[in-house]
A = this chain, B = another copy of it.
Amino acid sequence: MFAVTILGNNSAVPAFNRHPTSQVVTYEGTNFLVDCGEGTQIQMINYKIRRGKISHIFISHLHGDHYFGLIGLINSFGLLSHKQDLHIFGPPALKEIIEIQLKMAETHLPYALHIHAITGPGLLVETDKMRIECFRTNHRIECFGFKFTEKRAARKILADKAREMQVPLAFFDHLKTGADYHRKDGFLVKNEEVTLPGEKGRSYAFCADTKYDETLLEHISGLDMIYHETTYLDNFRERAEARFHSTTRQAATMALKAGVKRLLIGHFSSKYDTLEEFEKEAREVFPNTDLALEGTVYTIH
């Protein structure tokens, strides 16, 4: 399973039972947490997210509605006897902010906490099945989005053809990764002669807080799903611009230009008590849009 569960979909101040930004990206039993607004640990309890399965946390930027819940989560992991290493990726100052609070409480965590500074765009984490990269968005302070890309599946071996060309069984695993085979007789068996490409991996990007900025397109084009903020409805385009945020139509235009398959919208301003208009306006531009609703799981196909 590759899916996103929304824990908080509101901006700035909690309102109308909506919480500040946080979401969990689940991939085959591992939970990656993206942003961690105040109360995220309580939302995890509410929505039965297994905290023990979280090994990585990504913080987009240091506005409080995106990370004020992090210190509480780190602390609770300690009290709950979490053992697994915890890796946090975020702005350079995050390490100092967390460490001073742990120090003043004389907290000794029972697990290894690694706080990694994000200093520019690039690869953050690579596992055998997934790559997680960050890219700059356009916000009032430095801010990064995160892209989760499932690696292309292994190449499919045309077994009859491979045997015919005298590739030994022991080399089949290498064929899956794209390797050519050098026969003892000097003949070169090219990989593409005996395999077919694997399926393309699925992909998701969290575009964090940002004003409308087409430089994001190079990072999100063609993805299966993106989350893009829509702090305001489209009649507040000027305020959005001034505050480095986006509107419904801007997010939907970004999804359309990027040619993604599906758009999630969130980070709603506390001035709105209902969200129907957000869905309506975005869908007029990009029909396959959904509201990021708290407690809801969105699967990436």
Contact = CB atoms under 8 A, between A and B. Distances in A.
Interface of A: 12-15, 19, 38-39, 41-42, 45, 62-65, 68-69, 71-72, 75-76, 79-80, 91, 93, 96-97, 100-101, 104-107, 140-141
A91 B62 contact: no
A-B complex: 7 closest residue pairs judged by Cβ atoms: A38-B72, A62-B104, A64-B75, A93-B104, A68-B72, A13-B76, A39-B39
Contacts of A72: 38, 64, 68
A13 B141 contact: no
Contacts of A68: 38, 68, 71-72, 75
A21 B39 CA distance: 14
Given A101-B97, A105-B63, A80 B13 contact: yes
A225 B97 CA distance: 37
A163 B12 CA distance: 63
A15 B51 CA distance: 14
A17 to B, nearest CB: 9
Given A38-B39, A39-B38, A80-B13, A100 B104 contact: no
A96 B91 contact: no
Contact of A100 (B65, B75, B80, B93): B93
Nearest to A77: B13
Contacts of A14: 41-42, 45, 76
A64 to B, nearest CB: 5
A234 to B, nearest CB: 22
B141 A106 contact: yes
8 contacts: A14-B42, A14-B76, A38-B39, A68-B75, A93-B104, A96-B100, A97-B100, A105-B141
